[in-house]
Structure 1
Amino acid sequence: MLKGIPSILSPELLKVLCEMGHSDRLVISDGNFPAESMGKDSIVIRLDGHGVPEVLEAVLKVFPLDEYIDEPVSLMEVVPGDPVETPIWDTYEKIVLKYDKRGKEAIGHIERFSFYDQAKTAYTIIATGERALYANIMLQKGVVQPEEQ
């Protein structure tokens, strides 16, 4: 056990987050996301008993977002005509604001199949049991500033 590290971050996940470098991406996926087939060239970590918001909160406590791009956080766009509401996105905005001063401005949206294409190149995919639709989120890693060490 470690002090100050959220318990949801397993030793395996902490190792992977530490291995990641600047500009590497990770996906925190909902329960419907095809994590195993998208992650054939990635490290897939299963956290099926958890939801995306709690995983996002824990990850952002230790994971710097890329400050060199405008939108280091990406959400999968709702397919046009799909009658789905995405209230979980409001939760994400609140969590991101806690850890990045840009808040909502750090979040962009990617068309569904473009999101899949980018997910296939992610360093890691964290598969959750999240039941909300369009709850997938992709983060691009930044650098740890000297004053943060």
Structure 2
Amino acid sequence: MLKGIDQRLSAEIVHILMLMGHGDDLVICDVNHPAATIAAETTYGRLVDMAGCDIPTAAAAILTLMPLDSFVPAPVARMQVVGNPEGQVPIFARTQATVDRAEGRPVPIRALERFDFYAEAKRAFAIIRTADSGPYGCFILKKGVVNLPEL
């Protein structure tokens, strides 16, 4: 363990976050998402599990280390409810509250049709599967810039 790093973040997750650059995408999903299949096509190339966490808990832990991109209109994407693009499920509001709290501001979240979400997820850097039972617990977080002091 290290000081200041959420204990739910494994060494592999911290490694992935360190490898990612500005504009790279990270998928956080529930257990129903075809994560292993899609993860094979990501930059990282394999699925990472974050067992014991629901989506908001996983996102909150990840966002302690990873800023969201402030250069795009909506740095978070979610899957639309199939057959009801305007539909809402509880995980949407819970995740919205989590990302708003982490960023200290309202964060726009865009909705993607199911197969558009899958296509975008395949272009992500990595996929982290949580123990969240869903449904529709599928989110893409775009990494922002970390402002560091000069060396």
> Whole-Å Cα distance in 1 between the matches of residues 103 and 118 of structure 2?
25
1:43-87 Cα shifts (integer Å, max 9, x gaps): 3211233211110010011101011101001110001159x7511
TM-score, scaled relative to structure 2: 0.89
* Structure 1 match to 2:31: 31
> Whole-Å Cα distance in 2 between the matches of residues 21 and 140 of structure 1?
10
Asked if structure 2 preserves the Cα contact closer than 8 Å seen for 1:53 and 1:91, the reply is: yes
Asked if structure 1 preserves the Cα contact closer than 8 Å seen for 2:27 and 2:141, the reply is: yes
Size of the alignment, in residue pairs? Answer: 145
User: What amino acid is aligned across from residue 14 of structure 2 in structure 1?
Assistant: L
Percent identity of paired positions between Structure 1 and Structure 2:
37
Identify the match of residue 64 of structure 1 among 67, 74, 79: 67
User: What amino acid is aligned across from residue 145 of structure 1 in structure 2?
Assistant: N
3-state secondary structure, aligned to 1:46: strand
3-state secondary structure, aligned to 2:141: strand
* Structure 2 match to 1:110: 112
* Structure 2 match to 1:132: 134
User: What amino acid is aligned across from residue 86 of structure 1 in structure 2?
Assistant: V
> Whole-Å Cα distance in 1 between the matches of residues 89 and 137 of structure 2?
8
1:112-147 Cα shifts (integer Å, max 9, x gaps): 100000001110000112112001111000101237
3-state secondary structure, aligned to 1:99: helix
Deviation, 1:97, is 1.1
Deviation, 1:100, is 2.0
> Whole-Å Cα distance in 1 between the matches of residues 122 and 17 of structure 2?
17
User: What amino acid is aligned across from residue 122 of structure 2 in structure 1?
Assistant: K
> Whole-Å Cα distance in 2 between the matches of residues 86 and 99 of structure 1?
21
3-state secondary structure, aligned to 2:28: strand
Q: Say yes or no: does 1:6 pair with 2:40.
A: no
> Whole-Å Cα distance in 2 between the matches of residues 65 and 137 of structure 1?
13
1:7-28 Cα shifts (integer Å, max 9, x gaps): 0100011001010001100100
Asked if structure 2 preserves the Cα contact closer than 8 Å seen for 1:27 and 1:122, the reply is: yes
What root-mean-square deviation, in Å, do the aligned CA atoms of Structure 1 and Structure 2 show? Answer: 1.7
The range that moved more, 27-36 or 72-81, is 72-81
